Amino acid sequence: MTDILRGAMISASLIIAIGAQNLFVLKQGLLKNHIFFVAAICFFCDFALMTIGIWGVGAFISRYPIITNSLAIFGALFLLWYGFNAFKSAVRGDSSMQVDSAEQRKSSLTKVILSTIAVTLLNPHVYLDTVVIVGGIAGTFSTEQKWAFLIGAVCVSFIWFFGIGYGARLLTPLFRQKRMWVILDSVVGLVMFYIAYRLIFYVICGQ
């Protein structure tokens, strides 16, 4: 039980933070935009990455900077593109018009799935948190302790992503106002640009 709680606490400290993935899930939840698929993809990615991290892959990746640098470059390009679209959406007020558009939600399933995979797997911070940090912490554990640690970590991931995804619907009345969407899209754009900047800085300066 101690190792389960330890895994849960480490996972919570890494996941529960404002970042590209969480903002993406929140926005899809507000739009009621295939949120089950969004939350499920985020959870299963976490599950897979934490599993391979706990079983030793994290140490391997950390020894090869070219891997993390390549991920950082691709991730920065994607985040810059996503941030640009968020600012464009803020200017046009596109998101506020989608709140009640069930037909638009149905037609965008493929796009939402691909965007979820991209915002999750093209962000090197995901690998740093789930593979390197979680894997590094569990590196000295026994086999039994590793499984307990993994259970605690993935349980928090499941609760978090489905919680903010479906919980966001409680804020829908507030976000029927165009002004609130302008604020949210602007925050999303700023966060994406800032993370992209940090990734570029990491590649250039190595920190």
Residue 81 is which amino acid?
Answer: W
| The pLDDT of residue 42 | 93
Q: What is the pLDDT of residue 1?
A: 66
Cα–Cα dist 83/193, whole Å: 6
Per-residue tokens: 8 = 């849960």
How much is the mean pLDDT over the chain?
A: 79
| pLDDT: which is higher, 143 or 147 | 147
For the chain, domain boundaries: 2-68+92-177
Q: Report CA-CA distances (Å) from 138 to 51, 52, 79, 141, 145.
A: 10, 11, 30, 5, 8
Checking if the pLDDT of 10 tops 90, the result is: no
**Selected residue with higher pLDDT from 110 and 17:** 110
- The closest alpha carbon to 96, from 175, 7, 164, 2, belongs to 175
Q: Which tens digits make up the pLDDT trace of 93-104? A: 655 555 555 444
- What is the mean predicted confidence (pLDDT) over 128-157? 81
Predicted confidence at residue 103, as pLDDT, reads: 46
pLDDT, tens digit (0-9, with 9 covering 90-100), for 42-73: 999 999 988 888 887 755 666 667 776 776 78
Residue from 189, 152, 161, 128 nearest 40 by CA: 161
Give the pTM: 0.73
